[in-house]
């Protein structure tokens, strides 16, 4: 150990050309993400919870069809059962999205990160892209795997697709469990947007993390938006609350993943799926722009 004095001469290649850019930073962020265990724990939980809850809930609900009341039959959504895991996963990906940056502030390694890059916004963008791609892939795989798991169980319970042009009345009167396949564009959209919902929440949480720079604070804020905000809105006078509760992130998620062939159910209460997706993305974008402005201005 003591014999080493001066590092050996190295040839690192010319650095008069080009500059450290987004591609470099993205490689680095991927190395950081894959080299801590919490990443893998979170992703495995998303996948296992997705399929496990889909199987569990679908099995329970399918077995009850014969004894369901009119209202329950009217709102029976064979796709939503398959995406039950999203309720848990949204918090898991939120933690993951926040940790990507808050763990660097907690350990102080943010000062290493920012002292080897001359453009701070590159760090923000690289982190968002890397965590976004990783969560999106896992979330979509989980969403479709959950859907197929659910489908197998429904078929085992004798589910049958409703005839074309089916209404709520058709569904209520059906003697067999209603069933949809991915050939149904509404079902396909709902399953796909279930993964998109987790992606957007991850980016939102990452933005909160950049702004608050504190793990516990960021996670509390994220959970507050998803869980506490709806409770607060709930106790407000209903005429007042109903005008904006459809804009709550949790309700946007519901709007995105609902199979709305029976659109009368939630007409007016929820936004249509694509506008809901756009609004949630806009929330994320606003937070990320604020995060970027603060990152450039604040001392590390």
Contacting positions for other proteins (CB under 8 A): 1-2, 4-8, 10, 12-13, 15-16, 18-20, 24-25, 27-29, 31-32, 35-38, 103-104, 107-109, 111-112, 114-119, 297, 299-300
Least distance from other proteins to the Cβ atom of residue 26, Å: 9
Of 199 and 295, the one with the shorter C-beta distance to other proteins is: 295
Of 29 and 61, the one with the shorter C-beta distance to other proteins is: 29
Three-state SS letters, 84-100? CCHHHHHHHHHHHHHHH
Of 6 and 183, the one with the shorter C-beta distance to other proteins is: 6
- CA pair distance 73, 177, nearest whole angstrom: 9
Least distance from other proteins to the Cβ atom of residue 20, Å: 5
Least distance from other proteins to the Cβ atom of residue 18, Å: 7
- DSSP letter assigned to residue 39: H
Least distance from other proteins to the Cβ atom of residue 106, Å: 9
- DSSP letter assigned to residue 17: S
Task: Tell me which long-range contacts 25-32 makes (C-beta under 8 A, separation of at least 24).
Answer: 25/117, 25/122, 25/123, 25/125, 25/126, 26/126, 26/129, 26/130, 28/126, 29/100, 29/123, 29/126, 29/127, 29/129, 29/130, 29/131, 30/130
Of 56 and 300, the one with the shorter C-beta distance to other proteins is: 300
Q: Are residues 139 and 46 in contact, defined by beta-carbon separation less than 8 angstroms?
A: yes
Least distance from other proteins to the Cβ atom of residue 33, Å: 9
Of 1 and 71, the one with the shorter C-beta distance to other proteins is: 1
- CA pair distance 256, 249, nearest whole angstrom: 10
């Amino acid at each position: 150990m003591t014999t080493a004095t001066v590092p050996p001469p190295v040839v690192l290649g010319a650095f008069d050309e080009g500059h450290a850019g987004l591609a470099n930073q993205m490689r680095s962020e991927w190395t950081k993400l894959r080299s801590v265990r919490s990443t893998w724990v979170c992703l495995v939980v998303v996948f296992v919870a997705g399929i496990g809850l889909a199987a569990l809930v679908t099995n329970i609900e399918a077995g009850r069809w014969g004894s369901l009341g009119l209202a329950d039959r009217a709102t029976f959504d064979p796709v939503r059962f398959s995406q039950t895991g999203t309720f848990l996963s949204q918090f898991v990906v939120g933690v993951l999205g926040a940790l990507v940056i808050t763990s660097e502030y907690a350990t102080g390694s943010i000062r290493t990160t920012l002292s080897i890059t001359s453009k701070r916004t590159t760090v923000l963008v690289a982190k968002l892209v890397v965590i976004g791609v990783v969560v999106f892939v896992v979330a979509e795989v989980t969403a479709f795997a959950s859907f197929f798991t659910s489908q197998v169980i429904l078929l085992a319970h004798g589910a049958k697709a409703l005839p074309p042009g089916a209404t709520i009345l058709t569904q209520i009167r059906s003697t067999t469990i209603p069933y949809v396949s991915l050939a149904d564009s509404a079902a396909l959209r709902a399953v796909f947007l279930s993964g998109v919902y987790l992606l957007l929440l991850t980016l939102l949480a990452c933005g909160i993390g950049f702004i608050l720079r504190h793990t516990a604070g960021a996670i509390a804020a994220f959970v507050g938006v998803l869980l506490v905000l709806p409770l607060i809105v709930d106790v407000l006078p209903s005429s007042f609350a109903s005008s904006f509760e459809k804009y709550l992130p949790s309700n946007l998620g519901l709007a995105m993943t609902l199979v709305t062939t029976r659109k009368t159910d939630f007409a007016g209460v929820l936004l249509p799926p694509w506008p809901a997706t756009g609004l949630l993305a806009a929330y994320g974008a606003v937070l990320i722009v604020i995060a970027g402005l603060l990152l450039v201005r604040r001392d590390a």
